[in-house]
Amino acid sequence: MGFLKRTIRVFERNPRWFPELQRQLSGEMFEIRLSYSAGDIFQRESFIRDNEIALFEFHSAPADCLQTFRKILEQNIKQPVIVIHSEEDFFLEWSLRELGITHFLPDKITGKELAHICRWMSR
């Protein structure tokens, strides 16, 4: 899978991580797509087939995210899911991991660090 273009689907209401990942991963084998609804990320069956990475900014819409995470659990989706959380949401980590979240990262993470994690997850 090393030569295939990987897609990172980003859910956030106010673009922060989307343009940052575009900048950090420019020229690499990544396609970054923005979604304004958490549920849109899993509407396409290709997410399951293509083994894409999904990134959610949790505080953008917690209820929407939780409903989508429930779908991840119900559908037994094993693809990488990153949640970026605010300091106030830190206590939710293990509950969200039980819903299938693979990475729970603080919103203080830098774009460079996030891009590094995405590269690592794509191996």
pTM of the model: 0.89
pLDDT number for residue 71: 86
- Answer yes or no: is pLDDT of 1 > 50: no
Angle between helices 17-24 and 111-121 (to 10 degrees): 70
pLDDT number for residue 74: 87
pLDDT number for residue 76: 82
pLDDT number for residue 18: 98
Amino acid at position 24, single letter? Q
Q: Which domains does the chain have, with CATH numbers?
A: 6-121 (3.40.50.2300)
Amino acid at position 29, single letter? M
- 3-state SS, one letter per residue, for 36-96: CCHHHHHCCCHHHHHCCEEEEEHHHCHHHHHHHHHHHHHCCCCCCEEEEECHHHHHHHHHH
Q: What is the mean pLDDT of residues 73-100?
A: 92
- Answer yes or no: is pLDDT of 113 > 50: yes
pLDDT number for residue 104: 97
Average pLDDT along the chain: 89
Q: Alpha-carbon distance 4 to 122, whole Å?
A: 10
